[in-house]
Amino acid sequence: MEQIDHYLRVAVAAAKEAGRIQRLHFGKPHSVEFKGEFNPVTEVDKLCDRAITQIIFNSFPDHNILTEESPFKEKGSPWRWIIDPLDGTTNYLHGYPCFCVSIGLEVEGEVRLGVVYIPPLKELFHAEKGKGAFLNGKRIVVSRIDKLNRSLLATGFPYDAHEHADFYLRYFRQFIIKSFAIRRPGSAAIDLSYLAAGRFDGFWEFKLHPWDVAAASLIVTEAGGRMTDFKGQPFNIYSEKILASNGRIHEEMLQTIQELER
């Protein structure tokens, strides 16, 4: 247990340092590169990436590190840190204060630790496998809403939404009809953390990456939520379809997707 606590301390320190960098540069002009036509990267993404990886490397030089902004180098370790140094880059670029740091720790294929830090709100979510989920040190649990038509959902669109708008909008339309309301904040890690805290009741999205969901998916399940793919099969962080909920509306969400896909 003490060892996992040490991992948590390092993850929190790394997340807070990246958050400090994000606050320092927020609202200022940024140089921007694009990994694809609609996938921006700023110098802040890179500064945060370097800060986090250095802090982790200093404590755990033998561990693998998988991060959105750096090439992956396999070290043969069963320990893998999975990092999004700045989730919500498009929001950040536009001065929209909805962005975060996401750090997960996968051990032998299982996510054991997750930290999501939202610098504008100074909200730190964390979870350890089997120990519950917490927001700024206080335990959180998912909502008790048990009907889809009373649920507040969240979603996002992948970077190829411009090419496949009609496809993704079919799902959006279906859930607008069936739910109470939908929000689209622009950060999957925040969406899932808010689900864990009972602020959202359900979430779906296509084509997310491990660094988007590794930390927050553990926070959801440790808060009592449920994570699957679109067919109700067990979720894994390398899946391209993610369905998350408070558990109570999960079957209705699955049914909504299945009606559409039939």
Reading the chain (262 residues) residue by residue, the pLDDT tens digits are: 445 689 999 999 999 999 999 999 998 877 766 665 555 678 899 999 999 999 999 999 999 999 977 767 778 899 999 999 999 999 999 999 999 999 999 999 999 999 999 999 999 999 999 999 999 999 999 999 999 999 999 999 988 888 999 999 999 999 999 999 999 999 999 999 999 999 999 999 999 999 999 999 999 999 999 999 999 999 999 998 999 999 999 999 999 999 998 8
For the chain, residues classed under CATH 3.30.540.10 are 2-140
What HEC string does 144-179 produce?
A: CCCCHHHCEEEECCCCCCCCCHHHHHHHHHHHHHHC
| Both tokens assigned to 153 | 């959902």
Topology annotation, domain 2-140:
Fructose-1,6-Bisphosphatase; Chain A, domain 1 (3.30.540)
Topology annotation, domain 148-261:
D-Maltodextrin-Binding Protein; domain 2 (3.40.190)
Listed as own residue / partner, the contacts of 134-138 with beta carbons closer than 8 Å and 24 or more positions apart are 135/193, 135/197
CA distance 253 to 25: 39
pLDDT of 71 reads: 64
Q: What are phi and psi of 184, to 5 degrees?
A: -135, 75
For the chain, residues classed under CATH 3.40.190.80 are 148-261
pLDDT of 170 reads: 95
Consecutive H or E run containing 228: strand 226-228
Instruction: Kindly list the strands in the beta sheet with 138-140, ordered across the sheet, starting from the edge strand earlier in the chain.
Output: 64-67, 79-87, 100-107, 110-118, 123-128, 133-135, 138-140
| Both tokens assigned to 241 | 């379809």
Closest CA to 51 of 34, 65, 33: 65
User: Would you say the C-alpha torsion 88, 92, 97, 100 has a positive or negative sign?
Assistant: positive
Measured CA angle at 106 (ends 93, 228), to 5 deg: 80
